[in-house]
Amino acid sequence: MPKQTAVILLQKDWADFNDMVPAKFRHKALEAYLLQNYKLPDDFSSLTKKRIPGSIRVNLRLSNEAISIIDSYVQIIDAAEEKNTNRSVIIRDVIKGYIKDNSNRNLDSSVQEKKHATYYFERGTRELLDQFIGHRDRSSAIEHFILSKELDYSLLSKSTLMNNTPIESESIRINLIHEAVEVIENVVASIDYKVSVTAVMREVVSQLIQHVSGKSFTELLLNNKLRHVIDQYSGIVGYSKVEEIVSEYLHQNKSKYSE
């Protein structure tokens, strides 16, 4: 379970990091970099406590594992530098490392021409994207997810993709840089069957929504659909009648759903 951790960061570095990573991914992207890529420098002189201008207080959500690693780095530096560092110093260095290692890719992303395409999803997908990502960040979040290590390629299989055709479809326009489009096209090319780019994108988006929400995409989709149907039916026959019908249905099918 992530914990709120208050740290003091450089305002410019935090702003640059926010520009590079969509809001829903920031804490996870930072933690993933800390766990998988970050290494303490050989020279600890830059990792000592000191007053810094242009600093801001930020609350980060970090797992126990991430906090434990940060604290272990603090202990290593304290042993060499006479207890002269803290969590904020380590996280500032992690953010600097992330910006340095990803700046070229993000610069390319900002100047590359986007490929505009329309994909077809199960109706209700747009609502979930707006709910958990936001309309303005939709394309950038999908692009970031495709290019990140969070995408589970084992689920981009023929069996999965052949069974995700929408029952009732809706179109969503998504704008991606060439590198992200190429990832999707390579998945299509790697499958020895006629699978569409849209089918792959449907699975990518369902994984993304599950990633940021922590809940099953199918469960979220059906939950919203059920709520909409109840609202619409209540508007016609009234709430009491809907409650009666639902209760009667559940009672009649109790044995089916209690197994």
Give me the residue label for tokens 């780019």. Answer: 197
3-class DSSP assignment, residue 4: strand
Residue with tokens 């919203």: 224
Task: Over range 8-21, report the average pLDDT.
Answer: 89
Statement: the pTM of the whole predicted model exceeds 0.85: no
Q: What is the pLDDT of residues 23-53, one digit of tens each?
A: 777 888 888 888 888 999 888 888 877 777 8
> What burial letters (b/e) apply to 9-23, b meaning 16+ CB within 10 Å?
bbeebbebbeebbbe
Task: Say what angle helices 64-81 and 26-36 make with each other, to 10 degrees.
Answer: 50
Is there a contact between 35 and 66 (Cβ–Cβ < 8 Å)?
A: yes
Residue 127 confidence (pLDDT) above 60? yes
Residue 123 has pLDDT above 60, yes or no: yes
Q: Would you call 189 helix, strand, or coil by DSSP?
A: helix
Average confidence (pLDDT) over 69-92 = 87
What residues contact residue 251 under an 8 Å CB cut-off, 6+ apart? none
CB of 145 within 8 A of CB of 28?
Answer: no
Q: How confident is the model at residue 153 (pLDDT cuts 50, 70, 90)?
A: confident
Dist CA 237 CA 229 (whole Å): 12
Summary mean pLDDT of the chain: 86
- Residue 119 sits at φ, ψ, to 5 deg, of -120, 155
Task: Kindly report, residue by residue over 130-152, the tens digit of the pLDDT.
Answer: 998 888 889 988 998 898 777 88
CB half-sphere exposure, 78, CA atoms < 13 A:
12
Q: What is the pLDDT of residue 258?
A: 63
| Percent of the chain scoring above 70 in pLDDT | 93
Q: Label residue 107 by pLDDT band (50, 70, 90).
A: very low
What is the spatial distance between Cα 59 and Cα 56, in angstroms, rounded to a whole number? 10
Q: Given pLDDT bands bounded at 50, 70 and 90, which one contains residue 81?
A: low
Q: For residue 226, which amino acid is it? A: L
